């Protein structure tokens, strides 16, 4: 008996097509259920294709379920995905946070870390500068943060972390002016 004559194969094709239709209209739960049936079916080729679509459904469903009550919750999520190496999702979340709560220094600091880790050095310095402007303590934290090791030799980074304050403070001879 050929695969095309197998009623299980015909059912798998029906489920695959129904899954595609559900996927096209963004009904990810429904599409996922159809594709899960196909993955366990008699056709390895169809199962392979279905598993790709199943992965897409899972990704969409996980994004949709990620809602945050506070900027802090979203920040924690962005840092966790960044630490797992998902820089695209981390960037999406940091960009949303920068728009949502630009007054929060830790968001700018996180964006600076991400930019440095992904080789966006001018953007990293800009974000870190904003984090330090909002909270000068970030200057000291960044000095020992391994996320910024790729900037260690950059003079802009050095100037940001170790500003020359000698112009602001009076010299010894000026202090003791009689």
Rounded average pLDDT over 132-140: 96
Three-class secondary structure of residue 164 per DSSP = coil
Length of the chain: 178
Three-class secondary structure of residue 109 per DSSP = helix
Average pLDDT for the chain? 85
Contact, 40 vs 47, CB < 8 A?
yes
Does the pLDDT at position 36 exceed 80? yes
Residue 95 is assigned to a structural domain of this protein = yes
Pairwise CA distance, residues 109 & 93, whole Å: 13
Q: Are residues 76 and 37 in the same domain?
A: no
Pairwise CA distance, residues 117 & 15, whole Å: 43
Give the residue among 48, 27, 24 at the shortest CA–CA distance from 38: 48
| Per-residue pLDDT, 63 | 67
Residues spanned by the domain of 57: 3-64
Tokens in use for 61? Answer: 């469903």
pTM of the predicted structure, to 2 decimals: 0.59
- In which residue are the tokens 């970030």 written? 138
Nearest 10 degrees: Cα torsion 72, 73, 79, 80: 160
pLDDT digits (tens, 9 = 90+) for 145-166: 999 999 999 999 999 999 886 5
Residue 168 is assigned to a structural domain of this protein = no
Three-class secondary structure of residue 27 per DSSP = coil
Q: Are residues 78 and 153 in the same domain?
A: yes
Rounded average pLDDT over 37-64: 82
Does the pLDDT at position 177 exceed 70? no
Rounded average pLDDT over 112-133: 96
Q: Are residues 39 and 100 in the same domain?
A: no
Residue 87 is assigned to a structural domain of this protein = yes
Does the pLDDT at position 46 exceed 50? yes
Rounded average pLDDT over 102-119: 96
Q: Are residues 113 and 56 in the same domain?
A: no
H or E stretch at 14? helix 7-24
**What one-character DSSP code corresponds to residue 168?**
T
| Per-residue pLDDT, 31 | 86
CA torsion sign for 134, 137, 143, 149 is negative
């Amino acid at each position: 008996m050929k695969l095309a004559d197998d009623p299980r194969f015909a059912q798998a094709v029906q489920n695959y097509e129904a899954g595609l239709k559900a996927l096209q209209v963004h009904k990810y739960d429904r599409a996922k259920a159809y594709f899960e049936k196909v993955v366990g079916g008699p056709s390895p080729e169809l199962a392979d294709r279905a598993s790709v679509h199943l992965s897409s459904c899972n990704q969409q469903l996980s994004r949709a379920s990620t809602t945050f009550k506070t900027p802090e919750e979203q920040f924690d999520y962005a840092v966790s995905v960044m630490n797992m190496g998902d820089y695209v999702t981390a960037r999406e979340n940091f960009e949303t946070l920068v728009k949502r709560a630009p007054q929060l220094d830790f968001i700018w600091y996180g964006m600076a870390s991400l930019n440095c880790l992904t080789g966006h050095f001018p953007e990293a310095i800009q974000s870190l500068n904003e984090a330090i402007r909002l909270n000068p303590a970030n200057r000291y934290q960044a000095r020992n943060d391994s996320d910024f090791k790729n900037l260690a030799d950059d003079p802009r980074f050095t100037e940001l972390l170790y500003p020359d304050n000698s112009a602001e403070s009076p010299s010894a001879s000026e202090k003791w002016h009689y």
